[in-house]
Structure 1
Amino acid sequence: MYSIIKEVLIKGKYELVDVLSKINKLWIEGSLTEEERDELVNLARTNANPNNSYAENTQQIANLWEYYQQLDTRLSKLENSQDVEPTEPEEEWPEFVQPSGAHDAYKIGNKVMFQGKKYICKIGGCVWDPITYPDAWELVEE
């Protein structure tokens, strides 16, 4: 058995983890001496071909690299595109909506449009409109 394994190792067409496991199994079973085992393990490690041991991982890495390059190209095109229309900014003065409770109450500094006029909230947790509770709102004069 020793000579057969040695021939395989010399040719170099094996998966390292698999062959090391087989060598250890034969040694445990008593088919190899400790010296034969040590020699075969060293030969296996010396002659191991990474393409045999990591072929699947190597392919996955190559696929990921290709995907990364495609994404990078697409991102560069988006960043450098002259045809991109600017997005409309969020409405700075949204229409007042009656809060239904504390979870959607207005906070200090919130801006609203109410009955055609602009207001800024002056208190936290405000659930009243500017007419009902004018002290909570500052009218913005333009």
Structure 2
Amino acid sequence: MYSIIKEVLIKGKYELVDVLSKINKLWLEGSLTEEERDELVNLARSNANSENSYVENTQQIANIWEYYQQLDSRLTKLENNQGVELPLEEEWVEFVRPTGSHDAYKIGDKVIFNNKKYICQMDNCAWNPLVYPSAWELVEE
């Protein structure tokens, strides 16, 4: 089982969260040693392609619709409050799984994930800090 998974990871055609879950399941079932599990997890993270980790099209459409509704609401509020100075938004935003390369995180993006602040350390990042820890820097306060 170890060699089959390793071949898949080398080819790079997998969704990171899914493959990490499967590796952990095999390890819990006793099909992989802890050393094999650690090696496969590291290989999975290093060979991961964010293009394989975006949300399905129906979810993307739902996310775009929600985003549209939020923008429409904000625009209406701005139009109704002409001349009123609005406060600047906080630069730390809640982590949201990207739906495509257009909204993937870039180096320097600041997010809040599980009530902790992180700064993105890689471009085109589609994973949260638990899935791909080396892509994020934890900001200690």
Range into which the TM-score falls when normalised by the shorter chain: 0.3 to 0.5
**TM-score between both structures, scaled by the size of structure 2:** 0.42
What TM-score, normalized to structure 1?
Answer: 0.41
- Greater relative contact order: 1 or 2 (C-alpha under 8 angstroms, separation 6 or more)? 2
